[in-house]
Structure 1
Amino acid sequence: MPSNRAVAYKGPGKVEVIDIDYPTFELKDGPGVNPANVGRKLPHAAIIRTIATNICGSDQHMVRGRTTAPVDLVLGHEITGEVVEVGPGVEFVKVGDIVSVPFNIACGRCRNCKSGKTGICLNVNPDRPGSAYGYVDMGGWVGGQANYVLVPYADWNALVFPDRDRALEKILDLALLSDIFPTGFHGAVTAGVEVGSTVYIAGAGPVGLAAAAGAQLLGAAVVIVGDLNDERLAQARSFGCETVNVGEGAVPDQLEQLLGVPEVDAAVDAVGFEARGHGHGAKAEEAPATVLNSIFDITAAGGAVGIPGLYVTGDPGGVDEAARRGSLSLSLGTAWAKSLSFTTGQCPVMRYNRQLSQAILHDRVQIAKAVNATAIPLEDAPQGYAEFDAGAATKYVLDPNGYLGV
């Protein structure tokens, strides 16, 4: 049986690479596994040898201790790999296939999956609709920051790249199809971005940069990215975005300097619940409703807001009791008065990943360059987490099995 090393959460601020069991076609008990899922038979699953598995900002929320994640939870929901085994119920995915695995696990059978809402599948998480690999309160499916990982409902979930050689040539770009590229693109789509749009994206982390690249792909006239981190803002400028440092003045004033008006057609929140204060003299202290209220202010009447940034129902590190319950003080009156619409929740990756893979393979977008994707060995994951947490303008891609040559 091949050995299997994986990245595990070891408490606030700490991850370690540990030995775990090789996957089997049954969901075993373990950290974070919902008791109702223990013993679940998985004849429809495939075992994947991981080619690339990425560190995500959502993982960082757990590692910072900002969720109720249990110690020893195996992390990782952004998975690209090679199929090495299939269960007896798998008909179409074959051993040797190179596949992208959507971060949301979906059965393909429930009413939500059948209507394309794969982020809120009804059958994979006994606690609530929606599931993901290696994530708190998502059913307990083992994470993919490992040498090997099990992918349930493989015929439904796995996106197969038919040309192996071509896929491996573009693998660093294709590795971003499991989450951040579709998630950022979903933020732009749900914000109503179209040809000629002016767009503001809050957050220059990887999802924000992916949203910016997605907005450009959709034909936006101007994409403006806001953040407090100058290195990340420079990364946004590297592929043609305008930028504002939200610590250097009011966002509407900075937009007016760029556009002639203090508003945009569409806005995206790529920050989430760990947002910080804005404006001249504002302390960069946590203020979880800041981004949402800011983009309600600067989105034109009748516009839309995409919210791929993560918000949670339980935050032990919240700034007050309300924030610890995920209850924020939003200016809903502003949004109502302006007839704004907004979309929240997990991105339904399968709605976009095939189309975005074609954009990558046919050189319509260079998403790895846009987010500064950088491959590192699995054993360097703790250092990657630390550097990302410190604000590095880098999307770290782990290389557990040497496919990426690091």
Structure 2
Amino acid sequence: MTGNRAVAYKSAGVVEVIDIDYPTFELKDGPGVNPANVGRKVPHGVILKTVTTNICGSDQHMVRGRTTAPSNLVLGHEITGEVVEAGPDVEFIKVGDIVSVPFNISCGRCRNCKERKTGICLNVNPDRPGSAYGYVDMGGWVGGQAEYVLVPYADWNLLKFPDRDQALEKIMDLTMLSDIFPTGFHGAYTAGAGVGSTVYVAGAGPVGLAAAVSAQLLGAAVVIVGDMNTERLAQARSFGCETIDLTQGEPGEQIEQILGVPEVDAGVDAVGFEARGHGKDADHEAPATVLNSLMTVTAAGGALGIPGLYVTGDPGAKEKAAQVGSLSIRLGLGWAKSLSFTTGQCPVMKYNRQLMMAILHDKVQIAKAVNAQAISLEDAPRGYAEFDAGAATKYVLNPNGYVKG
């Protein structure tokens, strides 16, 4: 094997499908690769032929030019694949296995991994804890929006599907296990969604919709989703959510119209650092809006799950403070209400096996909830453009023709 095609970030608003090297069991120099990782041997890894790889809102932050991502960085951290080569140190994963790849890269050997904190592995990113495929400042592991991709620590990282035929039949659901389904579930779970609870999810993009589905799976009595995009709100209503239109103002009054009180038990931020104001302020960025509104509408003693992405460097921010991730958060309000916060990367391996079983046994239809649509690898630029324009669609790339129909 010598050829490989991949989706690469070129410049703000521009992605292209380019030719890259077929992966080997050694990290090579390239765009975004941490110099300390160059030459790193990966005998514990496997090479996957990509079955599906999804476009994520986190990718979109880079594509918009809101990070320090370099040109030609290969994108993609939501990966499902078939093992075509295994390194000499791989013991349990076999060639031919169909597997889900957690977007967190983790070693399975450090203190944090042993405590199931796989989003902040200590050994895979020389700059700081935590790593991911195809993402700026995450160690430089090549992204998976490609025909083939290298996955390290395969026996630890990979979730093997028990039956190949069943996996391919349900692949549009199972592809969500690499990121957005566990991430949405993490947001709902850490917010305290449970039997009989009321939950407000800010943001009706794919992660927000996954959080809403997860809250339902956890037994919530009412799930309310807020957004400014009417098509995405309609998508949330399609599987039983209540919705509020944030162009009409702050969420509290609309929540009261639904529940009779202006508060919920649990709040989820599925928006992140590119948040906008509400109502008449909806035409400009106000990055602390979602966090502050969630603190307002979450009942005292409640919790906020924050799977929405916040960054330490945002060169495109309007405010100087926000360019280094400093936001005007009403921490005093959160303190006064004894609210709990859970932030950071979702530790995918904490949830992915259980969510796989829910999919395989027809307890949840995550692909339908997020309106998943398969497109070719070559069609990725269109997918990015339509997603950025607000399409109520989760785009799933199909580089090698595994997805039929």
The question of whether the paired residues in 2 share the 8 Å contact of 1:13 and 1:64 is answered with: yes
Task: Report the equivalent of 1:218.
Answer: 218
2:50 match: secondary structure: strand
The question of whether the paired residues in 2 share the 8 Å contact of 1:9 and 1:63 is answered with: yes
Shift of 1:405: 2.6
The question of whether the paired residues in 2 share the 8 Å contact of 1:47 and 1:149 is answered with: yes
The question of whether the paired residues in 2 share the 8 Å contact of 1:200 and 1:225 is answered with: yes
1:40 match: secondary structure: coil
Task: Report the equivalent of 1:363.
Answer: 362
List per-residue Cα deviations over 1:43-98 (Å, max 9, x = no partner): 00000000000000000000000000000000000000100000000000000000
2:127 match: secondary structure: coil
List per-residue Cα deviations over 1:79-121 (Å, max 9, x = no partner): 0010000000000000000000000000000000000000000
Task: Report the equivalent of 1:282.
Answer: 281
Task: Report the equivalent of 2:395.
Answer: 396
Matched, 1:138 2:141: no
The question of whether the paired residues in 2 share the 8 Å contact of 1:6 and 1:19 is answered with: yes
The question of whether the paired residues in 1 share the 8 Å contact of 2:68 and 2:315 is answered with: yes
AA aligned to 1:295 is L
Task: Report the equivalent of 1:112.
Answer: 112
Shift of 1:319: 1.4
Shift of 1:284: 2.2
Query: 249-258 vs 361-370, which deviates more?
Result: 249-258
Matched, 1:304 2:303: yes
Shift of 1:249: 2.5
The question of whether the paired residues in 1 share the 8 Å contact of 2:198 and 2:264 is answered with: yes
Task: Report the equivalent of 1:188.
Answer: 188
Task: Report the equivalent of 2:381.
Answer: 382
AA aligned to 1:370 is A
The question of whether the paired residues in 2 share the 8 Å contact of 1:50 and 1:146 is answered with: yes
Shift of 1:162: 1.7
1:100 match: secondary structure: strand
**Number of residues of Structure 1 aligned to a counterpart in Structure 2:** 405
Give me the whole-angstrom Cα distance separating, in 2, the residues matched to 1:162 and 1:395: 25
Give me the whole-angstrom Cα distance separating, in 2, the residues matched to 1:126 and 1:197: 41
List per-residue Cα deviations over 1:191-235 (Å, max 9, x = no partner): 011100000000000000000000000000000000000000000
Matched, 1:20 2:20: yes
Task: Report the equivalent of 1:268.
Answer: 268
Task: Report the equivalent of 1:229.
Answer: 229
The question of whether the paired residues in 1 share the 8 Å contact of 2:2 and 2:21 is answered with: no
Task: Report the equivalent of 1:57.
Answer: 57
Shift of 1:283: 3.6
Matched, 1:164 2:164: yes
Task: Report the equivalent of 1:31.
Answer: 31
Give me the whole-angstrom Cα distance separating, in 2, the residues matched to 1:273 and 1:369: 27
Shift of 1:293: 0.2
AA aligned to 1:47 is I
List per-residue Cα deviations over 1:326-352 (Å, max 9, x = no partner): 000000000000000000000000000
AA aligned to 2:134 is G
AA aligned to 2:109 is R
AA aligned to 2:77 is H
Give me the whole-angstrom Cα distance separating, in 2, the residues matched to 1:52 and 1:300: 40
User: Which residues of structure 2 form unaligned runs of 5+?
Assistant: none
Task: Report the equivalent of 1:253.
Answer: 253
Give me the whole-angstrom Cα distance separating, in 1, the residues matched to 2:73 and 2:250: 40
User: Which residues of structure 1 form unaligned runs of 5+?
Assistant: none
Give me the whole-angstrom Cα distance separating, in 1, the residues matched to 2:54 and 2:3: 20
List per-residue Cα deviations over 1:151-185 (Å, max 9, x = no partner): 00000000001211111110000000000000000
Query: 246-255 vs 66-75, which deviates more?
Result: 246-255
The question of whether the paired residues in 1 share the 8 Å contact of 2:181 and 2:210 is answered with: yes
AA aligned to 2:382 is Q
Task: Report the equivalent of 1:351.
Answer: 350
1:26 match: secondary structure: coil
1:266 match: secondary structure: strand
The question of whether the paired residues in 1 share the 8 Å contact of 2:250 and 2:293 is answered with: no
Give me the whole-angstrom Cα distance separating, in 1, the residues matched to 2:114 and 2:223: 34
AA aligned to 1:172 is M
Task: Report the equivalent of 1:125.
Answer: 125
Give me the whole-angstrom Cα distance separating, in 1, the residues matched to 2:404 and 2:196: 41
Task: Report the equivalent of 1:83.
Answer: 83
AA aligned to 2:22 is Y
Task: Report the equivalent of 1:41.
Answer: 41
Q: Could you list the runs of 4 or more consecutive aligned residues of structure 1 that deviate by over 4 angstroms after TM superposition? A: none
1:23 match: secondary structure: coil
Give me the whole-angstrom Cα distance separating, in 2, the residues matched to 1:8 and 1:383: 13
Task: Report the equivalent of 1:372.
Answer: 371
Task: Report the equivalent of 1:3.
Answer: 3
AA aligned to 2:70 is P
Task: Report the equivalent of 2:101.
Answer: 101
The question of whether the paired residues in 2 share the 8 Å contact of 1:247 and 1:284 is answered with: no
The question of whether the paired residues in 2 share the 8 Å contact of 1:77 and 1:145 is answered with: yes
Shift of 1:353: 0.3
Shift of 1:250: 2.3
Aligned residues with identical type, % of pairs: 81
The question of whether the paired residues in 2 share the 8 Å contact of 1:304 and 1:340 is answered with: yes
TM-score (norm 2): 0.99
Give me the whole-angstrom Cα distance separating, in 2, the residues matched to 1:28 and 1:156: 22
Task: Report the equivalent of 1:206.
Answer: 206
AA aligned to 1:177 is L
1:62 match: secondary structure: helix
Task: Report the equivalent of 1:154.
Answer: 154
Shift of 1:2: 4.5
AA aligned to 2:331 is L
1:52 match: secondary structure: strand
AA aligned to 2:23 is P
The question of whether the paired residues in 1 share the 8 Å contact of 2:228 and 2:247 is answered with: yes
